Each structure stands twice: as structure tokens, then as C-alpha cells.
Amino acid sequence: MAEPVYRRVVIKLSGEYLAGSQVAGIDQPTVDRIATDLIAAQELGAEVAVVVGGGNMVRGVEVSAQGVSRTTGDTMGMLATVMNCLALEAAIERKGAPAQTLSAFVMPEICELFTRAAAQKYLAAGRIVLLGGGTGNPYFTTDTTAVLRAAEIEAQAVLKATNVDGVYSADPKKDPSAKRFDRLTHAQAIEGGYKVMDATAFALARETSLPIIVFSIADPGSIGAILQGRGRGTVVAG
């Protein structure tokens, strides 16, 4: 079995993906399949942390368009990410692996508060660490959260799980001629305006010298394949 290319990673998973084929909510078979993939990735010898979005429940921008303030809407979205983390934690533990949810918000009856020391302690102890609550501040996406947390816990890469196998020059579902990139610099990703990750996340990754690997989560085992350097994806680095 090939050794992992990266020993500690933060995986960014969209909340929408957890809904499966549903319009919203949590699709348990999808959550269970992702839990299996996360456990398999950890068994390769990598320390795995996960930042989950909340778009399957609440998107702050959409809520604010309906009359709620942007700050309140974003807070609702951040709370939704904690619920997704708890769902993943339960699925992982049902499969016999240890997991730990950490939140940017103080909620002692539900989970522990995120600190750099706590995350590193649980990773070193062999737990899959689920990072909820975003950054704890409105106006920041969970893409940015993933890069921020990766920098804080000294991860070696951010793995951005999407529904496409990398970064394209245009939406490949709408434009058959869209070009797929094997590799981009952070600057090229920002200048190109590619929507696979927001510009703030790419800028922070550039500042902290963190590579971002964009790949498709659709195929079982895709996380482990990327960790072993044999998966299909786009590397954004340098």
C-alpha cells in the first residue's frame, strides 16, 4: 500500500453534497459512504480533519435575501455546519472509528470548542476531526475556513472535494469545450476567477504556501487516491 503523499490534511466538503439526491437535508447513505472514505483515508496513515459546509440546510446569502440580516444569516449557516459535523461524527463512530467535532462556537453541551491545541491533540490520537462553525465570523466562507484551519493546525494540504474532477476553464457541465487544468498557481486561480473555490481562500493559501487539490468526491475511494498521489485532480500551488 502506497504511503500518503500528505501526512496531515484538511478536507473541504460541501454541505450540499451531504443531501445526496435530495433538495436539502441529510442523505444518510451519502453520509455513510463519505464516512467510509474518511476512515479508509486515515487508515493509509494520514491525519484527517474535515471542514463541512452548511448549504444543505442554510445558506447565509440566501437567507439574508429574504429579509434576515447578512450577519444573522451567516450565523445560521455556521450553525448548520455543526449539525453536519455531528451527523458525520455519528456515522464514523458507528463504523468503529473515533471522531471528534470541534466548533468555532462555545457550545459545551454539544461539542468542544475549536482550538489549535485541541485539534492537534485529537489528530495525533488517531481521531478524525470535524471542524464546524466556520471561522466563527460572518462574511467568510467554509472554503476560507478550510485554508485557515489547515494553516493553524499545520496541515500539509487542503483537499477540496467537489462534483467535478478538477478545475476547468468553464463549467464542464455547460461547456463541453472547457479545458481542465492539471496544475495552477494560486495567482492563476485568483486571476482566472475559477469558481471552484473563493478568491479569499486561494489568497490565504498563497500567503501560507498551502497546496489545494481539487478533486471529485463522487467515486468511492477518491480521498485515498488523492492522498496516495494517484487520484485525478487539479493541484493549485506555488
Read off the pLDDT of residues 18-68 as tens digits, 9 standing for 90 and up. 999 888 999 999 999 999 999 999 999 999 999 999 999 987 667 766 778
Cα–Cα distance for residue pair 213/147, rounded to 1 Å? 12
Q: Which CATH number fits domain 8-236: 3.40.1160.10, 3.20.20.80, 3.30.1600.10, 3.90.1640.30?
A: 3.40.1160.10
**Strand 180-181 to 99-103 pairing:** unpaired
**What's the pLDDT at 42?**
96
> Would you call 177 exposed, middle or buried from its count of C-beta atoms within 10 A (0-12, 13-18, 19+)?
exposed
Question: Which residues have C-beta within 8 Å of that of residue 57, sequence separation ≥ 6?
Answer: 15, 24, 25, 77, 80, 83, 84
Identify the pLDDT of residue 68.
Answer: 86
Residue 108: the pLDDT is: 95
Residue 180's identity, in one-letter code, is R
**pLDDT tens column, 141-164:** 999 999 999 999 999 999 999 989
**pTM of the prediction?**
0.94
Place of cell 459512504: 33
Residue among 168, 173, 170, 149 at smallest CA distance from 159: 149
